[in-house]
Amino acid sequence: MPEETIHVCCCPICQGSGDHPDKLVHRQMNLLLSRLDEQQRRWYAALESIKNGYGGDTLLCQITGMNMETIRRGRRELDENLAGRPPGRVRVAGGGRPPLEKKIPPSKRN
């Protein structure tokens, strides 16, 4: 199994010189995010963004490398109490690649 890459924080605190307690926290956040699936990453980043208040989306973009719209989507899903997000599934039903039968007409199959 290939080793997961862990995002390096790009916030001003981590890019500055010297030790700061938030550097360790940011590294641990990115380590945790590397082990979560896509929707869990979105929800965790959204929750941290909410905790940070104004400017939280921008800060979490810098810390995690996630797109701001992804974090906002997570906030919306949390505001809706994860309605429409089935437990035990990463993606909603009906998503993904269409079946091969629909893609290749019967006359073209061997």
Task: Please report whether residue 99 resides in a domain.
Answer: no
Task: Please report whether residue 1 resides in a domain.
Answer: yes
| CB-based contacts of 103-107 (< 8 A; 24+ apart in sequence) | none
Amino acid at 73: R
The residue ranking higher by pLDDT, 59 or 21, is 59
pLDDT at residue number 104: 62
Domain count, the chain: 1
Tens of pLDDT, residues 15-53? 888 888 888 899 999 999 999 988 899 999 999 999 999
The residue ranking higher by pLDDT, 85 or 106, is 85
How much is the pTM? 0.75
Task: Please report whether residue 6 resides in a domain.
Answer: yes
pLDDT at 3 over 60: no
Mean confidence (pLDDT) of the chain: 84
